[in-house]
Amino acid sequence: MSVMTEQITKTIIASGITIVGNITGEGDVEINGHVIGDVTTANNITLADGSQVEGKAQCKKISVSGYMAGDVDAKEAVEVGKGGVLVGKIKTPRLHLSEDGAIQGEVEMPIADDRKRVKSQLKPMSVAGRSGSEASTSAGNGSH
């Protein structure tokens, strides 16, 4: 009986290299240089310290230790490491922000099935004895 293993390829953009155009593939992409364009892969994207990407990223996971300016859609996770900067809309079920990392933009985290179950059990909070709807309707109209 033979066992087939899937080999994932890795594309490396070296430091000092600038690519103008979109990158599309199936394997991992490691960026040490500068990419002006979208990066799309079925696997992982890594932005090393000193790297820059100006464009959208679509992948399984992305790790940013460089500078990323563009929207990110990561099916599994986004990690902004030490010194990493991510500017743009982020959509991912998991987000990890290191102490020295920075995010500027909107974050959308779809609720996974296990979190939906927990959320469905939560009850609306009341404010000073009022229900949530009463608190929101009277909060901005000046009435007491």
pLDDT in tens, 85-138: 999 999 999 999 999 999 999 999 987 665 555 566 666 666 665 544 444 444
Q: What is the pTM of this model?
A: 0.74
CA pair distance 114, 65, nearest whole angstrom: 30
CA pair distance 48, 96, nearest whole angstrom: 16
Helices (H), the chain: 113-120, 132-139
Distances (CA, A) of 37 to 46, 120, 137: 15, 40, 45
For the chain, give percent helix, strand, coil, nearest 5: 10, 45, 45
pLDDT in tens, 24-37: 999 999 999 999 99
pLDDT on residue 109: 94
pLDDT in tens, 47-92: 999 999 999 999 999 999 999 999 999 999 999 999 999 999 999 9
